């Protein structure tokens, strides 16, 4: 299985901060990387697909980058509604696997 490792596992930030989360794959997955946002009691929401493809309705302050084994999710200016857990997922090779999540806290 492809292992997905996120860093950090949690971070503290303030409204307006620029936040970057990293996801590393245990092998080359090209651009087959997706990002999700999850809040307590709410299912995950797909934010970005194929490394950098912003989903419809997702604010432009979210952006994704990277290819191969190293990827980033950046929030350019953190808003109150962005405090959540973010997870990456590789869609290169079955079984599809997720990172352990990064919790963004106030």
Partner 1 sequence: QVQLQESGPGLVKPSETLSLICTVSGVSISSGSYYWTWIRHHPGKGLEWIGYTHYSGSTNYNPSLKSRVTLSIDMSKNQFSLDLNFVTAADTATYYCARARLQNDFDRWGQGTLVTVSS
Residue 33's nearest CA partner among 74, 101, 78, 92 is: 92
Nearest to partner 1 of 75, 90 (CB atom): 90
Closest distance to partner 1 from the beta carbon of 84 (Å) = 14
Q: Is 96 in the site for partner 1 (CB under 8 A)?
A: yes
Look-up of token digits 């651009």: 31
* Cβ-contact 63, 15 below 8 angstroms: no
Q: Does 89 bind partner 1 (CB under 8 A)?
A: yes
Tell me which DSSP letter residue 55 carries. Answer: P
Q: Measure the CA angle with vertex 91, ends 89 and 96; round to 5°.
A: 70
For residue 23, state whether it binds partner 1 (rule: CB under 8 A): no
The DSSP symbol for 99 reads: -
Region binding partner 1 by CB under 8 A among candidate stretches 17-25, 45-53, 61-69, 70-78: 45-53
**Beta carbon nearer to partner 1, 17 or 24:** 24
Q: Which residues bind partner 1 (CB under 8 A)?
A: 1, 4, 32, 34, 36, 42-46, 49-50, 55, 87, 89, 91, 94-101
């Amino acid at each position: 299985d492809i292992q997905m490792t996120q860093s950090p596992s949690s971070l503290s930030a303030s409204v307006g901060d620029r936040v970057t989360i990293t996801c590393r794959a245990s092998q080359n997955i090209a651009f087959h990387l997706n990002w999700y946002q999850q809040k307590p009691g709410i299912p995950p929401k797909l934010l970005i697909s194929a490394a950098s493809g912003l989903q419809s309705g997702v604010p432009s302050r979210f952006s994704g980058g990277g290819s191969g084994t190293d990827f980033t999710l950046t929030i350019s200016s953190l808003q109150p509604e962005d405090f959540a857990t973010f997870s990456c997922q590789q869609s290169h090779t079955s079984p599809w696997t997720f990172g352990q999540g990064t919790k963004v806290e106030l």
